[in-house]
Amino acid sequence: MRILLTHTPDARARYYGEAALDELRRLGEVRLNPTGGLLDAGALAALARDCDVIVSDRQTPAPAELFGKLPDLVAFVRCAMDIRNVDVAAASAAGIVVTRASAGFVASVAELAVGLLVDLARGTSAAVAAYRSGRAPEIRMGVQLAGSTLGIVGCGAIGRRLAGFAAAMGMKILAFDPDPDAVPAGVERTGFESLLGRSDFVVCLAAATPQTRHMMGKAAFAAMPRGAFFVNLSRGELVDEAALLAALDAGHLAGAAVDVGMAPDQMPSPAVAAHPGVVATPHIGGLTPAAVSHQAFDTVRQVAALSRGEMPDLAVNPESAARLARLRAN
Q: Show pLDDT as tens, one digit a residue, over the chain (330 residues).
A: 999 999 999 999 989 999 999 999 999 999 999 988 999 999 999 999 999 999 999 999 999 999 999 999 999 999 999 999 999 999 999 999 999 999 899 999 999 999 999 999 999 999 999 999 999 999 999 999 999 999 999 999 999 999 999 999 999 999 999 998 999 998 999 999 999 999 999 999 999 899 999 999 999 999 999 999 999 999 999 999 999 999 999 999 999 999 999 998 899 999 999 999 999 999 999 999 999 999 999 999 999 999 999 999 999 999 999 999 888 766
Sign of torsion over alpha carbons 265, 237, 282, 173: negative
Amino acid at 68: G
| Start-to-end CA span in the chain (Å) | 9
The predicted pLDDT at position 330 comes to: 65
Angle of helix 289-307 versus helix 106-122 axis, rounded to 10 = 160
DSSP three-state, residue 62: strand
The predicted pLDDT at position 329 comes to: 63
Same-domain pairing of 135 and 88: no
Same-domain pairing of 95 and 210: no
Same-domain pairing of 90 and 151: no
The predicted pLDDT at position 64 comes to: 95
DSSP character at residue 307: H
The predicted pLDDT at position 326 comes to: 84
Sheet of 278-280: strand order equals 188-189, 172-176, 149-153, 201-204, 228-232, 253-258, 278-280
Angle of helix 106-122 versus helix 157-168 axis, rounded to 10 = 50
Same-domain pairing of 78 and 151: no
* CA gap 145, 113 in Å, rounded: 13
- CB neighbour class for 178 (10 Å; exposed up to 12, middle 13-18, buried from 19): exposed
Same-domain pairing of 306 and 220: no
Q: How wide is the angle at C-alpha 88 spanned by C-alphas 82 and 91, nearest 5°?
A: 135
DSSP character at residue 181: G
* CA gap 166, 113 in Å, rounded: 10
CA dihedral 9, 10, 16, 20 (to 10 degrees): 40
Q: How far is CA 156 from CA 103, 178, 214, in A?
A: 11, 10, 19
The residue range of the domain holding 40 is 2-104+288-329
Q: How far is CA 43 from CA 18, 63, 65, 77, 82, in A?
A: 24, 12, 12, 18, 21
b/e sequence 294-305, b meaning 16+ C-beta within 10 Å: bbbbbbbbbbbb
Same-domain pairing of 99 and 111: no
Same-domain pairing of 235 and 306: no
User: Domain of 199: which CATH number?
Assistant: 3.40.50.720
Same-domain pairing of 163 and 259: yes
Same-domain pairing of 117 and 67: no
Considering its fold, how many domains does the chain have in total? Answer: 2
The predicted pLDDT at position 239 comes to: 98
* CA gap 191, 215 in Å, rounded: 13
Pairing label, strands 253-258, 278-280: parallel
- CB neighbour class for 142 (10 Å; exposed up to 12, middle 13-18, buried from 19): exposed
The predicted pLDDT at position 325 comes to: 87
Same-domain pairing of 15 and 90: yes
Same-domain pairing of 114 and 229: yes
The predicted pLDDT at position 36 comes to: 85
Amino acid at 6: T
Same-domain pairing of 76 and 198: no
